[in-house]
Structure 1
Amino acid sequence: MADAKTITISDVMTKSVISVDAKLTVNETAKMMEDAKVGAVIVMEDNLPIGIVTDRDFAIKIAAHAYQISTPIKKIMSTPLFSINPDETVRTAADLMHDRGIRKLPVIDDGKVIGIITSTDIVNLLAVCVEEDMRDMYFHSVAKIYTNYSPYN
Protein backbone atom coordinates (compact mmCIF):
# COMPACT_ATOMS: atom_id res chain seq x y z
CA MET A 1 0.00 0.00 0.00
CA ALA A 2 1.21 3.51 -0.76
CA ASP A 3 1.95 5.98 2.02
CA ALA A 4 -1.42 7.20 3.37
CA LYS A 5 -0.21 10.80 3.23
CA THR A 6 0.26 10.59 -0.54
CA ILE A 7 -2.73 8.51 -1.68
CA THR A 8 -4.75 10.74 -3.95
CA ILE A 9 -8.48 11.11 -4.34
CA SER A 10 -8.31 9.56 -7.82
CA ASP A 11 -6.84 6.40 -6.21
CA VAL A 12 -9.92 5.76 -4.04
CA MET A 13 -12.87 7.71 -5.47
CA THR A 14 -15.95 6.10 -6.96
CA LYS A 15 -15.93 6.99 -10.63
CA SER A 16 -19.59 6.41 -11.41
CA VAL A 17 -21.64 9.38 -10.26
CA ILE A 18 -25.29 10.08 -10.93
CA SER A 19 -26.28 13.63 -11.75
CA VAL A 20 -29.75 15.09 -12.15
CA ASP A 21 -31.18 18.26 -13.59
CA ALA A 22 -32.23 20.84 -10.99
CA LYS A 23 -35.80 20.77 -12.36
CA LEU A 24 -36.34 17.09 -11.56
CA THR A 25 -38.74 16.35 -8.71
CA VAL A 26 -37.75 14.77 -5.41
CA ASN A 27 -39.79 11.71 -6.39
CA GLU A 28 -38.02 11.27 -9.76
CA THR A 29 -34.65 11.76 -8.08
CA ALA A 30 -35.41 9.27 -5.31
CA LYS A 31 -36.38 6.67 -7.92
CA MET A 32 -33.12 7.25 -9.79
CA MET A 33 -31.12 6.87 -6.57
CA GLU A 34 -32.97 3.67 -5.73
CA ASP A 35 -32.44 2.21 -9.21
CA ALA A 36 -28.74 3.09 -9.20
CA LYS A 37 -28.33 2.04 -5.54
CA VAL A 38 -26.52 5.27 -4.64
CA GLY A 39 -26.76 7.50 -1.59
CA ALA A 40 -26.16 10.81 -3.36
CA VAL A 41 -26.68 12.61 -6.65
CA ILE A 42 -25.13 15.77 -8.00
CA VAL A 43 -27.62 18.47 -9.00
CA MET A 44 -26.80 20.16 -12.29
CA GLU A 45 -28.01 23.38 -13.85
CA ASP A 46 -26.85 24.50 -17.30
CA ASN A 47 -24.35 21.59 -17.25
CA LEU A 48 -22.71 22.92 -14.08
CA PRO A 49 -22.75 21.18 -10.70
CA ILE A 50 -24.65 23.40 -8.25
CA GLY A 51 -25.48 21.11 -5.33
CA ILE A 52 -25.74 17.62 -3.92
CA VAL A 53 -28.67 15.63 -2.60
CA THR A 54 -28.02 12.74 -0.24
CA ASP A 55 -30.27 10.13 1.28
CA ARG A 56 -29.92 12.15 4.48
CA ASP A 57 -31.45 15.20 2.73
CA PHE A 58 -34.48 13.08 1.91
CA ALA A 59 -34.79 11.81 5.45
CA ILE A 60 -34.36 15.16 7.16
CA LYS A 61 -35.45 17.94 4.84
CA ILE A 62 -38.50 16.34 3.24
CA ALA A 63 -39.81 14.89 6.48
CA ALA A 64 -39.11 18.04 8.51
CA HIS A 65 -40.76 20.38 6.00
CA ALA A 66 -43.41 17.99 4.66
CA TYR A 67 -42.43 18.73 1.07
CA GLN A 68 -44.58 17.18 -1.65
CA ILE A 69 -43.02 14.56 -3.94
CA SER A 70 -43.47 17.03 -6.78
CA THR A 71 -41.05 19.51 -5.16
CA PRO A 72 -38.08 20.37 -7.41
CA ILE A 73 -34.91 18.66 -6.19
CA LYS A 74 -33.17 22.04 -6.19
CA LYS A 75 -35.27 23.01 -3.16
CA ILE A 76 -33.75 20.32 -0.93
CA MET A 77 -30.20 20.13 -2.30
CA SER A 78 -27.24 21.05 -0.14
CA THR A 79 -25.42 24.09 -1.41
CA PRO A 80 -22.84 25.48 -1.81
CA LEU A 81 -21.33 22.39 -3.35
CA PHE A 82 -18.03 21.59 -1.71
CA SER A 83 -15.75 19.58 -3.97
CA ILE A 84 -12.19 18.42 -4.31
CA ASN A 85 -9.64 17.96 -7.09
CA PRO A 86 -8.63 14.38 -7.99
CA ASP A 87 -4.96 15.16 -7.35
CA GLU A 88 -5.51 16.14 -3.70
CA THR A 89 -4.64 13.69 -0.94
CA VAL A 90 -7.18 11.64 0.95
CA ARG A 91 -6.04 13.45 4.11
CA THR A 92 -7.05 16.76 2.51
CA ALA A 93 -10.46 15.31 1.70
CA ALA A 94 -10.88 13.99 5.25
CA ASP A 95 -9.97 17.40 6.67
CA LEU A 96 -12.43 19.17 4.38
CA MET A 97 -15.19 16.71 5.18
CA HIS A 98 -14.55 17.11 8.89
CA ASP A 99 -14.39 20.91 8.73
CA ARG A 100 -17.62 21.17 6.71
CA GLY A 101 -19.49 18.36 8.45
CA ILE A 102 -20.15 16.48 5.23
CA ARG A 103 -19.94 12.79 4.35
CA LYS A 104 -19.82 12.90 0.56
CA LEU A 105 -17.49 15.01 -1.54
CA PRO A 106 -17.75 15.30 -5.34
CA VAL A 107 -14.50 15.15 -7.27
CA ILE A 108 -14.36 17.84 -9.94
CA ASP A 109 -11.72 18.26 -12.63
CA ASP A 110 -11.91 21.09 -15.18
CA GLY A 111 -15.49 21.85 -14.14
CA LYS A 112 -16.65 18.25 -14.70
CA VAL A 113 -17.77 15.85 -12.00
CA ILE A 114 -15.54 12.80 -12.42
CA GLY A 115 -16.19 10.96 -9.17
CA ILE A 116 -17.15 11.10 -5.53
CA ILE A 117 -15.34 10.25 -2.31
CA THR A 118 -17.29 9.37 0.81
CA SER A 119 -16.54 8.93 4.47
CA THR A 120 -17.06 5.21 3.89
CA ASP A 121 -14.26 5.24 1.29
CA ILE A 122 -11.95 6.81 3.87
CA VAL A 123 -12.93 4.32 6.59
CA ASN A 124 -12.33 1.45 4.16
CA LEU A 125 -8.90 2.88 3.41
CA LEU A 126 -8.13 3.14 7.12
CA ALA A 127 -9.08 -0.51 7.55
CA VAL A 128 -6.15 -1.58 5.37
CA CYS A 129 -3.58 1.00 6.54
CA VAL A 130 -0.36 0.02 8.19
CA GLU A 131 0.15 0.96 11.85
CA GLU A 132 2.54 3.81 11.00
CA ASP A 133 -0.10 5.45 8.77
CA MET A 134 -2.74 5.08 11.51
CA ARG A 135 -0.42 6.67 14.07
CA ASP A 136 0.36 9.54 11.71
CA MET A 137 -3.34 10.20 11.02
CA TYR A 138 -4.10 10.07 14.75
CA PHE A 139 -1.44 12.66 15.58
CA HIS A 140 -2.57 14.83 12.67
CA SER A 141 -6.13 14.76 14.05
CA VAL A 142 -5.03 15.52 17.61
CA ALA A 143 -2.90 18.43 16.42
CA LYS A 144 -5.82 19.79 14.42
CA ILE A 145 -8.19 19.57 17.39
CA TYR A 146 -5.62 21.22 19.65
CA THR A 147 -5.16 24.05 17.15
CA ASN A 148 -8.92 24.62 17.01
CA TYR A 149 -9.25 24.90 20.80
CA SER A 150 -5.90 26.31 21.86
CA PRO A 151 -6.10 29.63 23.72
CA TYR A 152 -2.79 30.57 22.07
CA ASN A 153 -4.16 30.80 18.52
Structure 2
Amino acid sequence: MSDGKTMTIADIMTKSVVSVDSTMNVNEAAKMMEDAKVGAIIVMENNTPVGIVTDRDFSAKIVAHAYPITTPVKQIMSSPMFSVGSDDSVRSAADLMHERGIRKLPVIDNDVVVGIITASDIVNLLAVSTEDDIRDIYFHSVVKIFTNYSPYN
Protein backbone atom coordinates (compact mmCIF):
# COMPACT_ATOMS: atom_id res chain seq x y z
CA MET A 1 0.00 0.00 0.00
CA SER A 2 1.10 3.56 -0.61
CA ASP A 3 0.60 6.67 1.49
CA GLY A 4 -2.72 8.51 1.75
CA LYS A 5 -1.95 11.01 -1.01
CA THR A 6 -1.20 8.41 -3.67
CA MET A 7 -3.30 5.44 -2.53
CA THR A 8 -5.38 4.06 -5.36
CA ILE A 9 -8.76 2.42 -5.36
CA ALA A 10 -7.10 -0.91 -6.19
CA ASP A 11 -5.48 -0.74 -2.74
CA ILE A 12 -8.79 -0.87 -0.85
CA MET A 13 -11.54 -2.05 -3.22
CA THR A 14 -13.43 -5.29 -2.78
CA LYS A 15 -12.65 -7.52 -5.74
CA SER A 16 -15.60 -9.86 -5.34
CA VAL A 17 -18.62 -8.33 -7.06
CA VAL A 18 -22.04 -9.82 -7.71
CA SER A 19 -23.57 -9.05 -11.09
CA VAL A 20 -26.92 -10.03 -12.57
CA ASP A 21 -28.68 -9.81 -15.90
CA SER A 22 -31.07 -6.87 -16.24
CA THR A 23 -34.01 -9.25 -16.71
CA MET A 24 -33.59 -10.95 -13.31
CA ASN A 25 -36.46 -10.18 -10.95
CA VAL A 26 -35.95 -8.23 -7.76
CA ASN A 27 -36.81 -11.19 -5.53
CA GLU A 28 -34.03 -13.35 -7.02
CA ALA A 29 -31.61 -10.41 -6.88
CA ALA A 30 -32.39 -9.79 -3.20
CA LYS A 31 -31.78 -13.48 -2.42
CA MET A 32 -28.41 -13.31 -4.22
CA MET A 33 -27.44 -10.22 -2.24
CA GLU A 34 -28.41 -11.90 1.02
CA ASP A 35 -26.54 -15.11 0.18
CA ALA A 36 -23.41 -13.19 -0.83
CA LYS A 37 -23.77 -10.76 2.11
CA VAL A 38 -23.36 -7.72 -0.15
CA GLY A 39 -25.15 -4.39 -0.25
CA ALA A 40 -25.06 -3.89 -4.02
CA ILE A 41 -25.23 -5.77 -7.29
CA ILE A 42 -24.16 -4.66 -10.74
CA VAL A 43 -26.77 -4.95 -13.47
CA MET A 44 -25.47 -6.20 -16.82
CA GLU A 45 -26.75 -6.29 -20.39
CA ASN A 46 -24.72 -8.13 -23.02
CA ASN A 47 -21.79 -8.40 -20.57
CA THR A 48 -21.75 -4.62 -20.15
CA PRO A 49 -22.46 -2.92 -16.81
CA VAL A 50 -25.54 -0.70 -17.19
CA GLY A 51 -26.64 0.01 -13.63
CA ILE A 52 -26.42 -0.75 -9.93
CA VAL A 53 -28.99 -1.91 -7.39
CA THR A 54 -28.25 -1.27 -3.73
CA ASP A 55 -29.95 -2.49 -0.59
CA ARG A 56 -31.40 1.02 -0.25
CA ASP A 57 -33.13 0.65 -3.63
CA PHE A 58 -35.27 -2.12 -2.19
CA SER A 59 -36.78 0.15 0.44
CA ALA A 60 -36.74 3.37 -1.54
CA LYS A 61 -38.11 1.99 -4.78
CA ILE A 62 -39.74 -1.42 -4.36
CA VAL A 63 -41.44 -0.99 -1.01
CA ALA A 64 -42.28 2.70 -1.45
CA HIS A 65 -43.95 2.02 -4.82
CA ALA A 66 -45.32 -1.42 -3.93
CA TYR A 67 -43.67 -3.06 -6.95
CA PRO A 68 -44.27 -6.80 -7.20
CA ILE A 69 -41.35 -9.12 -6.45
CA THR A 70 -41.38 -10.16 -10.11
CA THR A 71 -40.28 -6.67 -11.20
CA PRO A 72 -37.07 -6.83 -13.27
CA VAL A 73 -34.01 -5.24 -11.64
CA LYS A 74 -33.69 -2.99 -14.68
CA GLN A 75 -36.77 -1.11 -13.47
CA ILE A 76 -35.24 -0.19 -10.09
CA MET A 77 -31.53 0.10 -10.94
CA SER A 78 -29.69 3.39 -10.72
CA SER A 79 -28.58 4.39 -14.19
CA PRO A 80 -26.50 5.91 -15.56
CA MET A 81 -24.10 4.33 -13.15
CA PHE A 82 -21.19 6.33 -11.78
CA SER A 83 -17.91 4.41 -11.58
CA VAL A 84 -14.20 4.81 -11.02
CA GLY A 85 -11.10 3.07 -12.33
CA SER A 86 -8.78 0.97 -10.17
CA ASP A 87 -5.89 3.41 -10.78
CA ASP A 88 -7.95 6.41 -9.62
CA SER A 89 -7.15 7.91 -6.22
CA VAL A 90 -9.22 7.12 -3.16
CA ARG A 91 -9.72 10.87 -2.80
CA SER A 92 -11.36 11.05 -6.24
CA ALA A 93 -13.78 8.27 -5.26
CA ALA A 94 -14.62 10.06 -1.99
CA ASP A 95 -15.18 13.31 -3.89
CA LEU A 96 -17.48 11.61 -6.41
CA MET A 97 -19.46 9.90 -3.64
CA HIS A 98 -19.88 13.20 -1.84
CA GLU A 99 -20.85 15.17 -4.95
CA ARG A 100 -23.39 12.59 -6.13
CA GLY A 101 -24.69 11.49 -2.72
CA ILE A 102 -23.85 7.84 -3.31
CA ARG A 103 -22.26 5.21 -1.07
CA LYS A 104 -21.11 2.53 -3.50
CA LEU A 105 -19.05 2.82 -6.67
CA PRO A 106 -18.26 0.04 -9.11
CA VAL A 107 -14.63 -0.09 -10.20
CA ILE A 108 -14.43 -0.54 -13.96
CA ASP A 109 -11.33 -1.02 -16.09
CA ASN A 110 -11.68 -1.40 -19.87
CA ASP A 111 -15.47 -1.92 -19.60
CA VAL A 112 -14.98 -4.81 -17.12
CA VAL A 113 -16.17 -4.63 -13.51
CA VAL A 114 -13.08 -5.43 -11.40
CA GLY A 115 -14.35 -4.42 -7.96
CA ILE A 116 -16.43 -2.09 -5.85
CA ILE A 117 -15.55 0.62 -3.35
CA THR A 118 -17.93 1.77 -0.64
CA ALA A 119 -18.15 4.64 1.79
CA SER A 120 -17.41 2.08 4.52
CA ASP A 121 -14.12 1.21 2.80
CA ILE A 122 -13.12 4.87 2.95
CA VAL A 123 -14.16 5.22 6.61
CA ASN A 124 -12.14 2.10 7.46
CA LEU A 125 -9.15 3.63 5.70
CA LEU A 126 -9.55 6.83 7.72
CA ALA A 127 -9.54 4.79 10.92
CA VAL A 128 -5.96 3.67 10.24
CA SER A 129 -4.67 6.87 8.58
CA THR A 130 -1.82 8.91 9.99
CA GLU A 131 -2.33 12.36 11.46
CA ASP A 132 -0.66 13.91 8.38
CA ASP A 133 -3.07 12.06 6.07
CA ILE A 134 -6.07 13.24 8.10
CA ARG A 135 -4.77 16.84 8.02
CA ASP A 136 -4.32 16.61 4.24
CA ILE A 137 -7.85 15.26 3.79
CA TYR A 138 -9.24 18.00 6.03
CA PHE A 139 -7.54 20.82 4.13
CA HIS A 140 -8.53 19.32 0.77
CA SER A 141 -12.15 19.28 1.94
CA VAL A 142 -12.04 22.84 3.27
CA VAL A 143 -10.59 24.10 0.00
CA LYS A 144 -13.37 22.37 -1.97
CA ILE A 145 -16.08 23.85 0.24
CA PHE A 146 -14.77 27.42 0.20
CA THR A 147 -13.93 27.46 -3.52
CA ASN A 148 -17.64 28.03 -4.11
CA TYR A 149 -17.50 31.22 -2.01
CA SER A 150 -14.29 32.67 -3.38
CA PRO A 151 -14.65 36.07 -5.12
CA TYR A 152 -11.82 35.00 -7.46
CA ASN A 153 -13.70 32.15 -9.18
User: Does TM, scored on the shorter chain, surpass 0.5?
Assistant: yes
Number of positions where the alignment pairs a residue of Structure 1 with one of Structure 2: 153
Q: 1:27 to 1:149 in 2, by over 3 A?
A: farther
Q: Which residue of 1 aligns with 2:47?
A: 47
CA shift for structure 1 position 151: 4.9
Which amino acid is 2:104 matched to? K
CA offsets 1:100-126 (integer angstroms, 9 cap, x no match): 111000000111000000000000000
Q: Which amino acid aligns with 1:7?
A: M
Give the equivalent residue in structure 2 for 1:88: 88
Letter in 2 for 1:2: S
Q: Distance in 2 between the 1:148 and 1:95 partners?
A: 15
SS of residue paired to 1:115: strand
Secondary structure, counterpart of 1:136 in structure 2 = helix
Aligned-residue sequence identity (percent) comes to 71
After alignment, is 34-43 or 141-150 more displaced? 141-150
Mapped partners of 2:117, 2:48: distance in 1: 19
**Alignment match, 1:7:** 7
The aligned counterpart of 1:127 is 127
1:63 equivalent to 2:63? Answer: yes
TM-score with structure 1 setting the length: 0.97
Residue in 2 that maps onto 1:32: 32
What TM-score comes out, normalization by structure 2 length? 0.97
Structure 2 gaps, min length 5: none
**What does 1:93-104 align with in structure 2 at a 5 Å threshold?**
93-104=93-104
* Structure 1: runs of 5+ lacking an equivalent: none
The CA deviation string for residues 68-117 of structure 1, in whole angstroms up to 9 with x for no partner, is 00000000000111110100110011011111111000000111000000
The aligned amino acid for 1:8 is T
Q: What is the alpha-carbon root mean square deviation over aligned residues?
A: 1.0
